[in-house]
Amino acid sequence: MDKTYFLSQSISLTLVILISLIFVFLGFYNSKKYQDLNNYLTANRSIGLFSLTTSLTASALGAWILFGPASAASWGGIGAIIGYSLGTAFPMFFLIYLGKKIRKELPRGSSLIEFMRKKFRKSLFKLILLMIIFYMFIFLCAEVTAVAILINYISGTELWITALIVLMSTLAYTLYGGLRASIFTDNIQMIVIGALLLISLVYINPSIGSEFSFEFIYEKNPQLLSLSYVPGYTAGLTFFIAVAATNLFHQGNWQRVYAAKNFETLKKSLMISFFIIIPIVFYMGFAGMVAFSIDPTIRPDLGFFTLLLKEQTELFSLFVIVLGLALTISTVDTLINAISSLIVVDGKAVINLNKKTNYLNLSKKIILFLSFISFIVASKGFDILYLFLLADLFCCAFVLTVFVSFYDKSINEKLAYFSILVGLVGGFLLFPTPDFSKSLLVGILISKDLFPSFVAQSLLFLSFIIATFLPLFIIKMKKLHIS
């Protein structure tokens, strides 16, 4: 029997094309008078409070917030939601301190890698550069896949069609206008996102009634709110560590650190973004808990949509498409420009080409190639969650060594390299297989029966903990040995 969709494909595609073209027009129109390299990379270091705040927030919130928090909340409960919310927002808080230092030491910079090049020699900063590009590429695949799946869920539109439209439109204005275009469209997108999320809250609350409450969740699934529910703590810490670590390496954030017209503007924007992000992510997770409590048989990642579209109304189907596209395009343009900027700024130190090489053109060619791969991934509907978690593990192994080195001059390249590799090896030993039933150490090299049940049930959590904190332990031990 054919599945019944909320909208026809023709209406859905018309809306997708229309919204995409609007953002293309806005991006081209705003950036046509800003065509120099400085504007492409850092928007001429002239961005004010409102634009910087909306851009930081919109870039942090992708289509993943429609799926991820709701899914995590269905098994991790309130702990997972808190971890997700704080993990997404806390990099804004950290960037106040890290941003101040990096702007002071490299006032004409545009990337984190430039600071790493100054701090360490070639081999380590190359490794960091590859890790950052790998993470952002996986993020790009995830965003395009998410919006393609969303439009397919609403109207049955084939995945490749949505993926192609979103990628082509975003590439068009972002490769033309750079960071200036990305920030301007982020402003519009964040206004749209904020308005639509408020409307959804106003609609869902009375339509669901008393079920949209902590009391109802506690009545149906008390473990999701229980302080003694261990998976809640492990999920919360896992998401906090993973999301915070990856966002600290997001080149889009570092571009905006440099794009602020002064440090006071940066500080205020980061603080405001911090307080905007937390309730948005929390709301999406809470909606997931409510949906799961109403019907435990639903797909956990579709929790928000089951509440919003329970009447299968065309109006709210249109609403979901606009929301999903605004979230996706705001993140995709940030990722495209971020990867491009890394190649422009740091490519010369990695790729030894002749002096006449135009690294801006080279970066655009590489971006087109990566976008083509992400199109293939999205059109197949691959589950890239596992790759995303793998990218998170890489970021976890790097994060403390890299950012502690901002302030600790005793961390040299050799020590940093060794501590990161030890963290990666330790994390990989416990990193779960795709079915999450075992890891290289637990279940493959050594029988699961020889480990406490907590270890076998918390492989992802433990792998992130070890990858994050083992490098710091190595650094501390080395210092004690020297002293």
In a domain, 402, yes or no: no
Domain that holds residue 287: 9-383
Residues 209 and 107 in one domain: yes
Q: What is the DSSP letter of 300?
A: G
Q: Which of 336, 367, 383 is the C-terminal boundary of a domain?
A: 383
CA dihedral sign of residues 146, 152, 154, 157:
positive
In a domain, 394, yes or no: no
pLDDT in tens, the chain (483 residues): 467 788 899 999 999 999 999 999 999 988 888 878 888 988 888 899 999 999 999 988 888 888 889 988 888 899 999 999 999 999 999 999 999 989 988 888 888 888 888 777 677 888 889 899 999 999 999 999 999 999 999 999 999 999 999 999 999 999 999 999 999 999 999 999 999 999 888 888 877 878 889 999 999 999 999 888 888 888 889 889 988 999 999 999 999 999 999 999 999 999 999 999 999 999 999 999 999 999 888 888 888 888 888 776 788 889 899 999 999 999 999 999 999 999 998 887 777 767 777 888 999 999 999 999 999 999 998 877 788 888 899 999 999 999 988 888 888 888 999 999 999 999 999 999 988 889 999 999 999 989 998 898 889 999 999 999 999 999 988 877 765
pLDDT recorded at residue 1: 46
Residues 325 and 443 in one domain: no
pLDDT recorded at residue 482: 65
Residues 327 and 432 in one domain: no
- Residue type for 53, please? T
In a domain, 399, yes or no: no
Contact 115, 99 (CB under 8 A): no
In a domain, 401, yes or no: no
In a domain, 1, yes or no: no
In a domain, 76, yes or no: yes
Q: What gap in Å lies between CA 239 and CA 461, rounded to an integer? A: 9
| Residue where the block lists tokens 């473990």 | 223
Residues 420 and 378 in one domain: no
Domain count, the chain: 2
pLDDT recorded at residue 312: 60
In a domain, 2, yes or no: no
Nearest to 308 by CA among 39, 91, 25, 6: 6
pLDDT recorded at residue 14: 95
pTM score, whole prediction: 0.92
- Compute φ and ψ for 293, nearest 5 degrees: -70, -30
pLDDT recorded at residue 336: 96
Q: What gap in Å lies between CA 460 and CA 458, rounded to an integer? A: 6
Residues 414 and 269 in one domain: no
In a domain, 207, yes or no: yes
Sequence-distant (≥ 6) Cβ neighbours of residue 120 within 8 angstroms:
405, 412, 413, 416
Structure tokens at 400: 């403390």
Q: What gap in Å lies between CA 128 and CA 112, rounded to an integer? A: 10
Burial 419-443 (b: 16+ CB within 10 A, else e): bbebbbebbbbbbbeeeeebbbbbb
Residues 259 and 358 in one domain: yes
Strand, helix or coil at 457?
helix
pLDDT recorded at residue 405: 87
Q: What gap in Å lies between CA 135 and CA 386, rounded to an integer? A: 12
- Residue type for 466, please? I
Residues 222 and 321 in one domain: yes
Contact 58, 188 (CB under 8 A): no
Residues 424 and 283 in one domain: no
Sequence-distant (≥ 6) Cβ neighbours of residue 109 within 8 angstroms:
102, 103, 115, 258
Find the CATH number of the domain harbouring 373: 1.20.1730.10
Structure tokens at 263: 């440090």
Residues 176 and 291 in one domain: yes
Residues 217 and 365 in one domain: yes
Residue 472's Cβ-side half-sphere holds a number of Cα atoms within 13 Å equal to 11
Residues 429 and 341 in one domain: no
Contact 88, 247 (CB under 8 A): yes
Residues 353 and 462 in one domain: no
Q: What gap in Å lies between CA 67 and CA 153, rounded to an integer? A: 12
pLDDT recorded at residue 483: 59
